[in-house]
Amino acid sequence: MTNKTNQWSATHIPDLTGRTAVVTGANSGIGLPAVDALARAGAHVVLAVRDPRRGEAAAATVSGARGTVEVRPLDLADLASVRRFADEWQGDLDLLINNAGVMNVPEGTTKDGFETQFGTNHLGHFALTNLLLPHVTDRVVTVSSNVHKVGRARIHFENLKLTGEYNPVTAYAQSKLANLLFTLELQRRLGLAGSPVRATAAHPGLSSTNLANHGANALYRAVARLANRLLAQDSEAGSLPTLYAAVMDLPGASYVGPDGLGEWRGGPTLVGRSPQASDPEAASRLWTVSEELTGVTFPEHLSPTTEPTTENNQRGAITR
């Protein structure tokens, strides 16, 4: 799927002076150039990172920005850390970018006992979003991956930990499918509540980052490094779909990715998703399970009151 957005760049981001954004996993990969672009557009950007020391080093590389940057600790693999971050938040939050993630890592669990990739990539962001939602005024963007289409990727509701059948790619695909189902159900709930906030999703295509350096086996890591050198676009280009999903006038639940062959690289545009990622029943079921696992629910003040409308689901871009 292509359109005329292939020349879109960070210079097209509207003026964000006076706006506040949070970017998780912002100290490297596509997160840091996203921070840089938002700060250059005038936003105050919070780098929500697991290692504050690395976060401060990353923040120091942001130069020429009209906005400001700040570092706050956040470990998405620890729900106590997620709650602390949310409890300490004060004031409006215009934009939440759920960017952090782990990829194809060896079998393991988070501090709360969840499978590492599902717990970090989905449950951590699920809890963070719902806890911060009372502050959010405009947009929630969640970074997924086209790996959600691999094979017969699905949510293993009967065995979310993949106990006895763990495969790093299967677990990663499950977590990235969960990101899209989360976006779908979040938008449905926001629409029913008559909220002006929109939920969107994005994927970076094949982007040269260090995400694959922690793969579960040496062969995978070697192939990933070779692909990064020969095929991948740089992290700045990889951040563009996220930024496009964050600031452009798009319908709720939109999914943005590169417009090139196989969506590996190119300019940001609306892209398709798998049938499994478009299943409202699976999205609703995943939401219920996620609430049970995290103990975090959709904010009471946003409880559904009306049927969703076109106006609610297609609010204007994040402009002043």
pLDDT score of 235? 87
Q: What is the pLDDT of residue 209?
A: 53
Q: Tell me the CA distances in angstroms from 21 to 11, 132, 162, 267, 290, one per residue in order.
A: 17, 12, 34, 23, 25
Which residues, other chains included, contact 163 with Cβ-Cβ below 8 Å and sequence gap of 6+?
none
> Confidence band (pLDDT; 50, 70, 90) for 113?
very high
Q: What is the mean pLDDT of residues 230-243?
A: 84
Q: Residue 3's pLDDT is what?
A: 43
Whether the per-residue pLDDT at 16 is higher than 80: the answer is yes
Give the percent of the chain with pLDDT over 70: 84
List all residues 6 or more positions away from 7 whose beta carbon is below 8 Å from its beta carbon.
267
pLDDT digits (tens, 9 = 90+) for 143-165: 999 999 987 899 999 999 999 99
pLDDT tens for 33-78 read 999 999 999 999 999 999 999 999 999 999 999 999 999 999 999 9
Is residue 3 helix, strand or coil?
coil
The pLDDT, as a whole number, for residue 207 is 67
How much is the pTM? Answer: 0.89
Q: How far, in Å, CA of 318 to CA of 284, rounded?
A: 28
Q: What is the pLDDT of residue 1?
A: 38
Known catalytic residues are: 172
Report how far apart, in Å, the C-alpha atoms of 259 and of each of 2, 94, 201, 256 are. 5, 27, 15, 9
Amino acid at site 260 = G
Token pair 């929630």: residue:
140
- At 215 the pLDDT is 53
Residue type, 141: V
Which of 87-91, 173-177, 229-233 bottoms out in mean pLDDT, i.e. has the lowest? 229-233
> What integer pLDDT is reported at residue 169 of this predicted model?
94
Residue 147 has a pLDDT of 94
Query: CA-to-CA distance for 96 and 182, rounded, in angstroms?
Result: 14
CB atoms within 10 A of CB 262: 11
Q: What DSSP string runs through 165-229? A: S--HHHHHHHHHHHHHHHHHHHHHHHHHTT-S-EEEEE---SB--SGGGG-SSHHHHHHHHHHHH
Structure tokens at 22: 């949070």
Mean pLDDT of all residues in the chain?
89
Side chain identity at 291, as an amino acid letter? E
Cα–Cα distance, 37 to 35 (Å, whole number): 6
Q: In terms of CATH architecture, what is 11-298?
A: 3-Layer(aba) Sandwich (3.40)
β-strand partners of 245:
none
